Structure 1
Amino acid sequence: MRVNRILLSTALVAVALVVQVCILARLHLPGAVPDLMLLVIIALALVWGHVAGALVGFCAGLLTDLAPPADHAMGRYALVLCFIGYLAGLARPDKGRVQSATVPLLVVCGAAAGSTFLSVGVAALVGETHEGQTGLGSLVLTALIYDLLLAPFTVPLIMTLARRIDNDPLADSSGTGTGTERPTASLMTSGGMRLKKGRIGSARTGLLTRPAKPRIRTARIKGVKRL
């Protein structure tokens, strides 16, 4: 990954982690908790692709596993976000430019449901059970609602920042031009000098134009017939 991508993803993950732990986790909403970290991973994966999405997802999930209150197995959320980031990156449009909001919303819906199923499945595999836990159907439904309500305020902004980071000011000038200019040809003179020939009819140098024949003016004398 580029340095600018690493800096941007680190800043976004740090902000999302602080908001997730200090604000969203303390709202005590029914069912699931709004997952801002998941939305950050989705937005970056839709712009940068599946490889970057998996890497950022794994690192962000590992930080989430370490953040208090860490009441689950280490690496559980890292595995979930790595898998979600990889799948979200596969839905990346051409050049990372989304033409409509349909694709991001569909990806958010699939990621919210998929991350809930994966998190519950991994918890069951490692033997983690919590008394009084909300049913799986209620968790999936509330995760969908919360993430869809939060997505319009976060995903477009993060995608715009990610695209601006990747902009190269020299990318446009390195091309062959806009097509309005005509190609130039070069001529070699006998002395080894290279001359550039532009558009037809625009060259006015003496070496490229045909020399004009001199006119010989004859004086006409009265009374003498012209031979």
Structure 2
Amino acid sequence: MRALFSTSTARVAIVSLAVVVALVLQTTVFPHLAWRGVVPDLVLLVVVAAGLVRGSQFAMVTGFSAGVLLDLAPPADHVAGRWALALLLVGYVAGRVRRDVLPSVGTVLATVAACSFLGSSVFLLSGLILQDTAASVPALLQVVVAAVLWDVVLAAFVVPPVTRALDRLEPESLLR
């Protein structure tokens, strides 16, 4: 008897649910906990987790889709497409870390830090290029540092559940 859902359909459903939950928390709960005006990027952490388990191609599609949602979700006040570009690049970088086995804790934290730096920098630099922000470069650097710190701290709560869910869904994919 065939399964009701294929593995790829279930994988997309799990990642979609994780992105939506992260997006809702990021836009509703975490603005109340902002540190120096910076909110942790839970959506970025879901994209990193998808990249670590499934590779670049899956993570790039996830990152672009999640970025478009983040660009359009209220209270977005920037030119649409900036987060889509940033999270697409994050998905590529996180997916390149993927090996035949799940990475160590240190590798995951380094990947989160690098991807957070990359994603925040691309988003903020695209704002400068598009004249979508009036902030100075030193102020933007402070935002990037705060974003990296937030994301590294919260990585322990977001990345393991997402990677575990995808790993349980398709554990043999790690050996391919």
Q: Tell me which interval the TM-score lies in, with the shorter structure as reference length.
A: 0.7 to 0.9
- Give the structure, 1 or 2, with the largest relative contact order (CA under 8 Å, sep 6 or more): 2
SS of 1:74's equivalent in the other structure is coil
The answer on whether the counterparts of 1:55 and 1:82 sit within 8 Å (CA) in structure 2 is yes
Query: What is the distance in 1 between the residues matched to 2:138 and 2:170?
Result: 42
Matches within 5 A, 1:68-217: 68-95=74-101, 97-98=102-103, 100-130=104-134, 135-167=139-171
AA aligned opposite 2:47: I
**Residue deviations 1:66-123 (CA, integer Å, cap 9, x gap):** 100120011110110011101110000214x23x201101101101111121111111
Q: Which runs of 5+ in 2 are unaligned?
A: 1-6
| Distance apart, 1:28 and its partner CA | 3.3
Match of 1:51 in 2: 57
AA aligned opposite 2:40: P
**Residue deviations 1:52-73 (CA, integer Å, cap 9, x gap):** 0000000000001110012001
SS of 1:94's equivalent in the other structure is coil
AA aligned opposite 1:43: A
**Residue deviations 1:6-37 (CA, integer Å, cap 9, x gap):** 11111101100110011112323214211111
Query: What is the distance in 1 between the residues matched to 2:82 and 2:128?
Result: 11
Does residue 54 of structure 2 align to residue 9 of structure 1? Answer: no
**Residue deviations 1:173-198 (CA, integer Å, cap 9, x gap):** xxxxxxxxxxxxxxxxxxxxxxxxxx
SS of 2:79's equivalent in the other structure is coil
Match of 1:175 in 2: none
SS of 1:2's equivalent in the other structure is helix
Q: Which has the larger radius of gyration?
A: 1
Percent identical across equivalent pairs? 35
Query: What is the distance in 1 between the residues matched to 2:76 and 2:91?
Result: 22
User: Per residue, is there more helix in 1 or in 2?
Assistant: 2
Decide whether aligned partners of structure 1 residues 131 and 47 sit closer, same or farther in structure 2, where only a CA change above 3 A counts. Answer: closer
TM-score by length of 1: 0.69
AA aligned opposite 2:28: C
AA aligned opposite 1:143: A
The answer on whether the counterparts of 1:31 and 1:142 sit within 8 Å (CA) in structure 2 is no
TM-score by length of 2: 0.88
Q: Which runs of 5+ in 1 are unaligned?
A: 169-227
